[in-house]
Amino acid sequence: MSADVARPDLEPLPDAEAEVAQITQELIRIDTSNWGDSSETVGEAAAADYCAERLREVGLDPEVIVTTSDSRRAVHVRIPGTDPSAGALLLHGHIDVVPAMAADWSRPPFAAELADGFIWGRGAVDMKDMDAMILAVVRSWARAGVRPRRDVVVLFLPDEEAGSVHGAHWLVEHRPELFAGVTEAVGEVGGFSVTVRDDLRLYPIQTAEKGIRWLRLRAKDRAGHGSMIHQDNAVTLLCEAVAKVGRYTWPIRRTKTVDRFLAGLSEAYGVDLSDGDLDLVRERLGTLAFLVGATLQNTANPTMLHAGYKHNVIPGEATASIDGRVLPGYEDEFDATIREIVGEDIIIETVNADIALEAPFDTATVDLMASVLRHEDPFALPVPYMISGGTDAKAFARLGVDCYGFSPLQMPADLDYWRLFHGVDERVPVDGLKFGVRVLDRFLRAC
């Protein structure tokens, strides 16, 4: 593989472009809302069966894997490469989505309507678009007899939106043989365009993601009658601690990925952002600043409060939920800071903790991603970046796999991509999907 040339001799496979929009629509119409460990979480099974059937139609032999229950299913297929000495590449996508409240949407969230050049619906960008691109590319390979250089392991996974317990983490623990020889993985979220001007588009490639610290704060004190003077109040104690957490200003902390990202932004926007000045970042980058700011510091946001059972009864206990996200290398600092903020009277319980990731950027694989993007868009400027959330990559990184987010899309300049994730009126441009198929196909065949 050449790290500098994206195999210009490779002919595109037009049937992949022709069917990617239809596959995206069909996937969106399968309601795979992830309500956690609830009887309402059932659609992943139907989506897994759909993916498996699309693969069987072209002669492949996928395995449908039941993980923790019959409603939680994954799909696996390995496509043999021509070079058995090369490390395998894991290509993964999750099939679940966050729930959508239809009354808030201008179009039905699971109808996958095609309007104004977009496919509208929950999962359009997170991440049934990428699932559809994977299916379209792999199906076109099977029809044309294409084989990649290295083995490509394809996985469609449940439960990413609720922590991957029933999906990626389960497979890593119970089916490690699926990942034999895998050295790198590609999934969400990266390779999308951010227009700076007509002749310059940024394409962030995800090389890092923050760790997770979901915490429960618990205050206990003496219960009593609401009409009495009561200095010992669990609700008051908890609320004081929660307010301190919510108002705390976390210090700026620099990581290699974010330094490279800021350098790319400085080049693109013609302004020095290297010192991480959040006010300047917000001024110059608009909504992109929300992403940048969240990757310059640890964060801890209160999200839920629970206390009491009757208006005139002071409860003996109150709890709060904190969504903490932690930069690579600053996990211990986060834990110590939370303890200092809330004080010794608050009990801290860990609900979910997962690792932060930071993969190398100066690799032949990442160079190839950049090259194929430039092949399709001569105005592309690929840059590494960190996401503030988490993905299935956390599970695969435990196997020593370098994980990247590369689900390529060219987006309209006026579309606020970040607002679409878990947002109302989620949608993806059909032209962007076709662009993504071309980029993904070229990347996978050349790597």
pLDDT tens digits along 11-56:
777 788 999 999 999 999 999 999 988 888 899 999 999 999 999 9
Q: Provide CB contacts within 8 A for 362, sequence distance 6+.
A: none
Task: With CA atoms as reference, report the closest residue to 286 among 206, 200, 203, 194.
Answer: 194
- Residue 2 pLDDT greater than 80, yes or no: no
Q: What residue type is assigned to position 216 of the chain?
A: R
What CATH number was assigned to the domain covering residues 210-354?
Answer: 3.30.70.360
For residue 14, give the 3-state DSSP assignment: helix
pLDDT tens digits along 263-298:
888 888 888 877 766 677 667 666 667 677 788 899
Q: What would the DSSP string read from start to end of 139-171?
A: HHHHHHT---SS-EEEEEES-GGGTSTTTHHHH
pLDDT at 282: 67
Taking residue 98's Cβ as centre, other Cβ atoms within 10 Å add up to 18
DSSP, res 177: G
The phi, psi pair for 134, rounded to 5°, reads -60, -50
Q: How confident is the model at residue 9 (pLDDT cuts 50, 70, 90)?
A: low
pTM, whole model, 2 decimals?
Answer: 0.91
Q: What would the DSSP string read from start to end of 212-276?
A: EEEEEEEEE---EETTS--S--HHHHHHHHHHHHHH--PPP---HHHHHHHHHHHHHHTS--TT-
pLDDT at 287: 64
pLDDT tens digits along 208-222:
999 999 999 999 988
Q: Is the dihedral of CA 338, 339, 344, 348 positive or negative?
A: positive
Q: Provide CB contacts within 8 A for 22, sequence distance 6+.
A: none
Which tokens sit at 68?
């923790």
CATH level 3 topology of 14-193+203-208+361-446: Aminopeptidase (3.40.630)
> In percent, how much of the chain has pLDDT > 90?
77
Cα gap 398→164, rounded to integer Å:
13
* Mean pLDDT for the chain overall: 92
DSSP, res 2: -
pLDDT at 419: 80
- Residue 430 pLDDT greater than 90, yes or no: yes
- Rounded to 10°, the helix 256-269/278-285 angle is 50
Q: How confident is the model at residue 435 (pLDDT cuts 50, 70, 90)?
A: very high
CA distances from 121 to 97, 359, 413, 436 (A): 10, 32, 20, 18
282, containing H or E segment: helix 278-285
Q: Where along the chain do its domains lie?
A: 14-193+203-208+361-446, 210-354
Contact, 274 vs 312, CB < 8 A? no
Cα gap 412→432, rounded to integer Å:
8
Of the listed ranges 50-59, 92-101, 114-123, 283-292, the least confidently predicted one is: 283-292
